[in-house]
A = this chain, B = another copy of it.
């Protein structure tokens, strides 16, 4: 069976059998840890077949004693049973002609005992030579905001963002901080049958997916993966968080998903070669993925900085150099526009420090900020603008953002919000146009650096 068609069974199932449906699910502080409850709550419109040997109904749905008893075609079976029972049920799925089986259960190659490995071999044996593929074991499975589906027993945070998430750890389904990564998601778990390559092939062709977000602990066929991911990266940005990077981290990964992690330096060089964007921690992962679906790409590497505080402007400049970005040289026109509002003793330059014009020149601070942001965005020698300010002008900032993201749709604008700033303000600002906000100049600039790197490698392909 063709890989994409098979992956669609996992990510876009029209019908799903759930094997292992507790009569009363575990509840953690009001949240049911239960695939079926979640599917009902999401509003999934596909057909659901709960499999239960001893009851006729759960959560208001008719149950079936076995997979074989379920009527009609089943795209996907999700198994969450004690590990000893899993190989037998996989066999039932094969017999039923189910092409996609997600094994949620832990305790196979991720276990520390011989029995886990034995059970995995039994599963391998059952599916050998068949059209049935297994995702996992030890996985949240798949998620798809566009059809309100996820096989995760923990409620997935979904929104129709154009992100294809591939991970080896379920909690990414919850997003990173307040940032949603689903979109669509595939948790490979132990990755014994469905691999990174299968996920790549699916997301490469998926029209809903504009950015790939990959969390990688390790894999068996790294060289095949790298070749393939390089091809995908020519079409869509691929952001990778590689963990298990240190010797001890690799050992921990081995115990988590049974993955081989490989040498750090080799991965780094290979990612660069492949045009993949490598990030270093979960926060950078979330920021960068969001940047790729929120901001336009960059035409060059020249950054303009507008700041209400010289000290943070200095940090922005430091960060530019670290990320291989240039501090833009302002055009004479821009210099004139700034000079018109600056005190006589201040040369207009980049970073554009707006404070003196307000404090000394007695001009309303936001007015100076507004003029400066527009001037730098208008400057053909500026490829992106970082605006550093307190979040005190929320209302005015909203209007500025709304205006300039319309007038300059092709130039990234990001903000560093200094001082106390509530989540609500951040979300409000980000909702008013295609901008991002950060809490340090360094994080803002690092994100623009990734954007510039990808834009550049795009030009090369």
Contacts and interface: CB of A to CB of B under 8 A. Distances in A.
Interface of A: 26, 28-29, 31, 33, 82-83, 105-107, 110-113, 115-116, 153, 157, 167-172, 174-175, 177-178, 215, 217, 243-249, 251-253, 255-257, 280-283, 308-315, 317-322, 327, 343-347, 349, 351, 353, 355-356, 358-360, 362, 364-366, 390, 392-396, 418-423, 439-443
Nearest to A178: B420
A313 B252 contact: yes
6 contacts: A113-B345, A167-B311, A169-B310, A171-B418, A174-B390, A282-B440
A217 B174 contact: no
Most buried by B among A282, A347, A356: A282
Contact of A318 (B31, B245, B314, B392): B245
A8 to B, nearest CB: 26
Contacts of A390: 171, 174
Contacts of A421: 177-178
Given A167-B311, A177-B421, A283 B440 contact: yes
Contacts of A322: 246
Given A248-B321, A256-B313, 10 more contacts: A26-B358, A26-B364, A107-B345, A115-B345, A171-B309, A174-B419, A243-B315, A246-B320, A248-B317, A249-B321
Most buried by B among A175, A247, A309, A322: A309
A315 B281 CA distance: 8
In the complex, the count of this chain's copies comes to 2
Nearest to A356: B106
B106 A439 contact: no
B249 A419 contact: no
A461 to B, nearest CB: 30
